[in-house]
Each structure stands twice: as C-alpha cells, then as structure tokens.
Amino acid sequence: MRKEFSAAIEKLATEDESIVFITGDLGYNALENLKEKMGNRFINAGVAEQNMIGVAAGLAHKGYKVFCYSIAPFIVYRCLEQFRNDVCFNNLPVFLVGNGGGYGYGIMGSSHHTLEDIACLSGQQNAQVWVPGFADEVEPVLKQIVKDGRPAYLRLGAGKMTPEGAYLSGSFKVLHKGAQAETTVFALGPIANNVMAALATSVELAEKVNVISALHFPLHIENELLDLVRNAPNILVAEEHISTGGLAQQLSVQLLEKGVFPRSFKSLKAEGYPGGRYGSQSYHQKLSELDADSIVKHINQLLIPA
C-alpha cells in the first residue's frame, strides 16, 4: 500500500498547502515524489520520532495538517507519550502513518513487528485508527483523515483490490454475503485478503459465510450489520494483532452491549513467537493460524452442528 499512499499524499498536498509531511528518515525509493512536489513542506526529522511528534504538534497548533511517517513500531511505540499528551489531549490534526503493520517486517524480528498498536492507540482521546485491508482503500481513507482533522493513526500493509460489490457499513466494509450464511467472519485489515482466499477454495463454503472487514476504530456498528450477525451467529474474528485491545475484544463488547449474543465465538490473533523463531510474514501468519488454509479449517469447525 506504500505506493498508493505516496500517490494519494502527493495529490492531497498539491490541493491543500496546509499539509506537511514529516518522515523519520524512512521512505527511500517510495517518497521521493513527495520531496520534489512539497518542497519545504517535506521534512526529514531524522531518527528522532519523539521530537518529530512534538514538532508536528507545534505545526498543527499553527494551522497545519501534519502526516508523520515511519515503520509501524517506530511511529507507535517510540512516541506514544508525545502523541497522547501533545496531540490527542489537544485534539490536533497530526496523523501517524505506520508502514508494515503486524508481522509486516517479517525476518527483522519482534522489534520491527507491531502486534499491539490498535490496543495502544484506539483508546486515546479524540483519536481514530484506520486499518485498510485493500490497496484502493488508501486514498479515500486519507481524504477522510484530512477532512476530519483530528488525531489519527493509519496502519499500512499489503493488500489486493477490494472485492467487487463490497460496501461500507459504519466502521466496517461488507465484502461478501453468503446465500445461506451461518457464520460471520470479521477480519482486520489485510487479513481480509486471506479470508477471501479461503472462501475461494469452495463455492459451498462461500455460501455459508459472511465476510466483513473492520476499517476504523472506535467501532461503530450499523443495525444492518447487527442483523447479519443475528442471522449468521457463528462468529470468527481474524486479526494480525494480539487479542487484548484488538478487534475481537472491542467487537465482542459492542455486540453484547447491543443485545447480540453469538452462538459461538472464535478469535484468531497474533500468537507472538510460539517457537522462539522469526520468519516471513506468511510464516508468522501460519503459526497464528491466520493463513487461508487455517481459516478454512476454523470456519468448518464452526459450521459443524453442536
């Protein structure tokens, strides 16, 4: 999604001179177009993420809309205090952009993985968290972030194009509705691609499943979505994030508060490093049973009559 992100920022910054872009000495072979087009509104803050957020807050206080870019763990964990205190408490238009969410940086290991970012940021005052699952979602999400003008975090990964016929519903996007759906799968971000790949293995399976992706937090669930869950009450949640503070936990609370009680509920999430080893993103997804084959297995288990 980095290519789509760079192109969209270039377009937005050309139309709006109040947009500033700050990078933490990252983005080579991806952001050169922004440096050329934005001139002195493109700033390389160096490897100093905490200072970068402080500078961004100062610029935002003077009327600028500021994007702060780095790989996800650096933009989230290193400067959490500055984002909380300087940006969120003052409701300033500073937008964190983290590339390679979840296990995106693979073999580089745990210091470069981002498995707790939703938990860290979705509860911050005034903040919104955006997790596009598909490449063509990046531009409209960025437009909405700029329009809202409030603290935000954008988690970028790698995704295909949105399935044909998908549509927005509150904080979610309905990707697929099975003709005889018994199970509803909720996916966070690019894991939705794995879920759709799982459905592609069997027409019969696809008929029995709804697929919904979560696009942003805090979650807002429309009545239509609640009806889908009531009619297909076996719930499977798949997310490249730990269980605490992630999609499964936040979704389950909202469903229960709204009087929607699943028949069964299964959470597939980032399991950390069960074997104490690092590998590619697909390797870690498989260990966490977030790959397409494992998702098929878990859907079939939910479909077995009690």
Residue at 75 is within a domain: yes
- Helix ranges (DSSP H) in the chain: 2-15, 32-38, 49-61, 72-77, 80-82, 117-121, 138-148, 191-199, 203-207, 223-231, 247-257, 281-287, 292-303
84 and 208 in a single domain? The answer is: no
Summarize the confidence of residues 44-69 as an average pLDDT: 95
Residue 161 lies in a domain: no
Q: What tokens does 107 get?
A: 């073999």
- Confidence (pLDDT) at 231: 95
List, edge to edge, every strand of the sheet that includes 183-188: 167-169, 172-176, 209-214, 183-188, 234-238, 264-268
CATH at 36: 3.40.50.970
Q: State what percent of residues in the chain have pLDDT above 90.
A: 90
Closest CA to 65 of 74, 73, 56: 56
In this structure, the answer to whether residues 39 and 90 fall within a common structural domain is yes
How sure is the predictor about 212, in pLDDT bands with cuts at 50, 70 and 90?
very high
Q: Are strands 172-176 and 167-169 parallel, antiparallel or unpaired?
A: antiparallel
Does 207 lie in the same domain as 142? Answer: no
> Which residue is associated with the tokens 């909405």?
144
User: Do 82 and 130 lie in a common domain?
Assistant: yes
Please tell me which residue, 304 or 55, carries the higher pLDDT value: 55
**31: confidence class by pLDDT, cuts 50, 70, 90:** confident
pLDDT attached to residue 25: 84
Tens-digit pLDDT profile for residues 257-288: 999 999 999 999 999 999 899 999 999 999 99
Residue 198 domain-assigned (yes or no): yes
At which of 156, 183, 212 does a domain end? Answer: 156
Split into its structural domains, the chain has a count of 2
Is residue 162 in a domain?
no
pLDDT (0 to 100) of residue 40: 92
Q: Is 153 helix (H, G, I), strand (E, B) or coil?
A: strand
According to DSSP, the β-strands at 172-176 and 209-214 are antiparallel
pLDDT at 178 over 80: yes
What does each C-alpha distance from 14 to 8, 26, 226, 258 come to in angstroms?
10, 22, 40, 43
Domain range enclosing 233: 167-303
What's the CATH number where 189 sits? 3.40.50.920
Which pLDDT value is given to residue 192? 97
Whether residue 114 is found in the same domain as residue 59:
yes
Are 183 and 93 in a shared domain? no
Same domain, 209 and 251: yes
- Does pLDDT of 2 surpass 90? no
* Residue 130 falls inside a structural domain: yes
Q: How sure is the predictor about 306, in pLDDT bands with cuts at 50, 70 and 90? A: low
Name the packing angle between helices 2-15 and 138-148 (round to 10°): 40
Of 127, 156, 185, which residue constitutes the final position of a domain? 156
Pick the last residue of a domain from 156, 185, 206: 156
How far is Cα 124 from Cα 89, in angstroms, rounded to an integer? 8
The answer to whether residue 291 sits within a structural domain is yes
Residues 215 and 101 in one domain: no
Asked if residue 47 and residue 189 are part of one domain, the reply reads no
Residues 190 and 89 in one domain: no
Pair (249, 150) in one structural domain = no
For range 48-66, the mean pLDDT: 96
Residue 204: which residues within 8 A CB-CB, separation 6 or more? none
Band of the pLDDT at 7, cuts 50, 70, 90?
very high
Segment 130-168, tens digit of pLDDT: 999 999 999 999 999 999 999 999 999 988 999 999 999
Stretch 78-105: mean pLDDT: 96
Section 236-256 average pLDDT: 96
One domain, residues 247 and 184: yes
H/E element holding 20?
strand 19-23
